[in-house]
Chain A
Amino acid sequence: MAAVNVCVAGAGTIGSLLAAHLGRVADVSVLVRREEHARALNRDGLRVSGRADFTARVTAAVDPAELPEPELVIVACKGSDLEAVADRLVGEFAGATLMTIQNGLGAEEIVAARGPWPILSSVTFMSGTRHSDTHVEYVLDTATWIGPYRATTAGSASAVAQLLVSSGLKAESYADLRPAQWSKLIFNATVNGVAALTGLPHDHHFAEEPVGPLVHALMEEGKAAAAGACVVLAEDPWEMNVFATQRGFRHSPSMLEDVRAQRPTEVELINGSLVRAAQANGVPVPLHEAVYALVRGKERSYS
């Protein structure tokens, strides 16, 4: 059987982890933004260290037209880059199914507005550290969850999950991804927001006085917002938080890394989408509104 052709659009941490692993079981191409990044990947391949140790061959380019026609495109860029990446996919890859994997809500809509592709939703809990254009460290080997979004089925979600599993990653498929997506949204909006504002990595402080009760109150607001959107959560985000803080591993959430480096954050897709969804359903979320306003204010302080 011929290998599947997969394109990974965006080679940050998550994109690099996906591209390298899939490179072991599929023909993988990578769409990147910078010429030197494409050259380095074509020359050196993509190295994974940490939870795994191997180097995968990939084909990289900055122009989608230079890449082979894929059956599956994983749009793996950061949420803050999504509109720009999606714009470059307009008119490309007519035969492919596209899968989004960004944090927050609304990535699917952004991609769907730019072409008629069948679309899968996904959320990922894996994490890593990007050491260079061609080297990513695989840190947390937690799962990616996949579900249908537009013109796709539970069966197509399951096929992509199996492909990820065969490549050495963890993945599961669901007939309805929203319960998982909302669990992660509430968890992310709270943990990323509080970490970015306090400077605390996600550790025991998030389950203890004085910060823990605020984290809990934000989770409760988020759960009310999910109920208002008629979503029955897959996992309790407060329990996810307590479990994560007991790992004995002080993870710096991406939004904390972003404000430390004075980069734009994913606050719009994460906190903004939670606040907007709650407001649309008439659910009051004053604490999330406060965190959202404060992180946006912090971004303004860079200049």
Chain B
Amino acid sequence: MRVCIVGCGAVGSLFAANLAQLDDVEVWAYDASREHVAAINATGLRLSGAGEVIGRLTATADAAELPPCDFGIVATKAMHTDSAVAATAHAFTDGYVATVQNGLGNEETIAKHVERVIRGTTFPAGKIVAPGHVQWDVKGDTTLGPYDDRTPLDEVQRLADACTRGGMPCAAVADARGPQWRKVIFNASTNPIGALTGLTHGRVCERPDLRGLVSGLVDEGTAVAAAQGIELDADPEALIDHAAKPEVAYGHKASMLQDVEARRQTEIDYLNGGIVRFGKEHGVQTPLNQAIWALVKGVEQSWQQ
């Protein structure tokens, strides 16, 4: 089996290095960072932290070098999906392309360029500490499912089995929208509140007025999911309260807060913006998500002043 990781940042690297442990899987990685690519090809892709792994794989910043692949795993930031998949689509003419990205709309974007798409959502996290070296912060599960009937569940299962054997626990399910929307609702209801206030997750949750706003956002997202017949696989409210505990993620700065502090474009269009868009399509009002989306877009605009 040949697998290409499209976007070999932190999450992409977790998949790439772990899959490269398997004798029956040949791993390629496509990434825009030439330093990262050169380091991976020279000394392998190293993970440290939650697991110590060195993966041997072939990395390239030139999509034309990619051979035909059985599977793609897209792990770019959501705003780079379109360009990354457009560049690499030729490698997946006969293959399947999975997304493990944040947010809503990635499957639709991928399907503009390739025939067979796999929906996915993943919880492991890490960060790049140096070219060729990723710190693995959190282990976690991945859920994959067919995007539409052009993708048989058996093929999804084949990729999920490989990920699990490689050390990235992964389930194949007929409908992966439940876990995907649960994660999107969690992120959309908490990340931008941290980004707009500068508060960590726990400090947001201990303020009744902000916690009430978080619940208002959760309610809207849940209503949009329900209007599509999506059943969440867990209650976002319980996950939010769990994460606020001191021993879990009280002091965690949401990734969107880190983006705002570094003045990097955020994924707001794919989180709250996605909930607003799907809400419009299904006749569900989402005024709070729309307001939060507009405020974070305003933050991004303020950097161009």
B293 to chain A, nearest CB (A): 7
| Given contacts A290-B288, A290-B291, A297-B193, A199 and B198 within 8 Å (CB-CB) | no
Measured between beta carbons, the chain A residues less than 8 angstroms from B305 are 200-201, 250
With A290-B291, A294-B213 known to touch, is A300 a contact of B196 (CB < 8 Å)?
Answer: no
Task: Evaluate contact between A197 and B295: CB separation under 8 angstroms.
Answer: yes
Contact between B197 and A294 (Cβ–Cβ < 8 Å)? yes
Within 8 A of B (CB), among A242-294: 250, 286-287, 289-294
Q: How many residues of B contact A (CB 8 A)?
A: 28
With contacts A298-B196, A298-B197 known, is A287 near B291, CB below 8 A?
yes
The minimal Cβ–Cβ distance linking A57 to chain B, given in whole angstroms, is 40
Determine the chain B residues whose CB is within 8 A of the CB of A68 once the complex forms: none
Interface residues of A in 203-221 (CB under 8 A from B): 205, 210-211, 213-214, 217
> 0/1 per residue, B284-305, Cβ < 8 Å to A?
0001101111110111011101
Is B216 located at the chain interface by the 8 A CB criterion? yes
- Nearest A residue to B295, CB-CB: A197
Q: Is A33 an interface residue (CB 8 A)?
A: no
Residue of B204, B213, B301 touching A211 (CB-CB under 8 A): B301
Contact between B199 and A194 (Cβ–Cβ < 8 Å)? no
Additional pairs, 12, CB under 8 Å, beyond known A217-B287, A294-B210? A194-B295, A210-B294, A213-B290, A286-B288, A290-B216, A291-B291, A293-B213, A294-B193, A294-B197, A294-B213, A296-B209, A300-B199
The 7 closest A-B pairs by CB, nearest first: A198-B298, A301-B198, A297-B197, A199-B302, A293-B209, A214-B294, A210-B297
Contact B207 A300 (CB under 8 A): yes
For window 178-203 of B, CB contacts with A under 8 Å fall at: 193, 196-199, 203
The chain A residue sitting closest to B302, CB to CB, is A199
| B204 adjacent to A297 (CB under 8 Å) | yes
CB distance from A30 to the nearest CB of B (A): 36
Which of B210, B287, B294 lies in contact with A293, CB distance below 8 A?
B210
B212 interfacial contact with A, CB 8 Å: yes
Count A-side interface residues using an 8 Å CB cutoff: 26
Complex formed: what's the CA distance from A198 to B296 in Å? 7
User: Contact between A290 and B213 (Cβ–Cβ < 8 Å)?
Assistant: yes
Please, which residue of chain A has its CB at the minimum distance from the CB of B212?
A: A293
Residues 164-212 of A at the B interface (beta carbon under 8 Å): 194, 197-201, 205, 210-211
User: Among B199, B204, B291, which residue has its beta carbon within 8 angstroms of that of A217?
Assistant: B291
Q: Report the minimum CB–CB distance from B206 to chain A (whole Å).
A: 10
* Chain A residues engaging chain B, CB cutoff 8 angstroms: 194, 197-201, 205, 210-211, 213-214, 217, 250, 286-287, 289-294, 296-298, 300-301
Q: Which residues of A contact B196 (CB under 8 A)?
A: 197, 294, 297-298
> How many whole Å from B202's CB to the nearest CB in chain A?
12
- Cβ–Cβ < 8 Å partners of A199 in chain B: 298-299, 302-303
Please report the C-alpha to C-alpha distance between residue A173 and residue B147 in the assembled complex, in whole angstroms. Answer: 66
User: Residues of B contacting A290 with CB < 8 Å?
Assistant: 213, 216, 288, 291-292
A selection of 26 A-B contacts at a CB cut-off of 8 Å is A197-B196, A197-B295, A197-B298, A198-B302, A199-B298, A199-B299, A199-B302, A200-B301, A200-B302, A200-B305, A201-B305, A205-B301, A210-B294, A211-B297, A211-B301, A213-B290, A217-B287, A286-B216, A290-B291, A292-B209, A293-B212, A294-B213, A296-B207, A297-B196, A298-B196, A301-B197
Q: How far is the CA of A287 from the CA of B287 in the complex (A)?
A: 8
Closest Cβ neighbor of B269 among chain A residues: A210
Give bound CA distance, A297 to B291, whole Å.
16
* Chain A residue with the shortest CB-CB distance to B217: A290
Q: Which residues of A contact B303 (CB under 8 A)?
A: 199
Shortest CB–CB separation between residue B79 and chain A, in angstroms? 15
- Would you call B199 and A287 a contact (CB within 8 A)? no
Determine the distance from Cα of A199 to Cα of B304 in the docked complex, in whole angstroms: 11
**CB-CB < 8 A to B213: which residues of A?**
289-290, 293-294
Q: In the bound complex, do residue A210 and residue B299 qualify as a contact, i.e. CB atoms below 8 Å apart? A: no
Nearest Cβ distance between residue B189 and chain A, in whole angstroms? 12
Q: Which residue of A lies closest to B198 (CB)?
A: A301
B287–A286 CB distance below 8 A? yes
Q: Which residues of A contact B210 (CB under 8 A)?
A: 293-294, 297
Q: Give bound CA distance, A213 to B199, whole Å.
A: 26
A248 nearest CB across to chain B (Å): 15
CA distance A46 to B22 in the complex (A): 79
Q: Evaluate contact between A198 and B299: CB separation under 8 angstroms.
A: yes
Kindly provide the distance from the CB of B20 to the nearest chain A CB, expressed in whole angstroms.
Answer: 42
Per the bound structure, the CA–CA distance linking A300 and B212 in Å amounts to 17
A200 contacts B298, CB within 8 Å? Answer: yes
Nearest-Cβ distance from residue B304 to partner chain A, whole angstroms: 10
Min distance, Cβ A192 to any Cβ of chain B, angstroms: 13
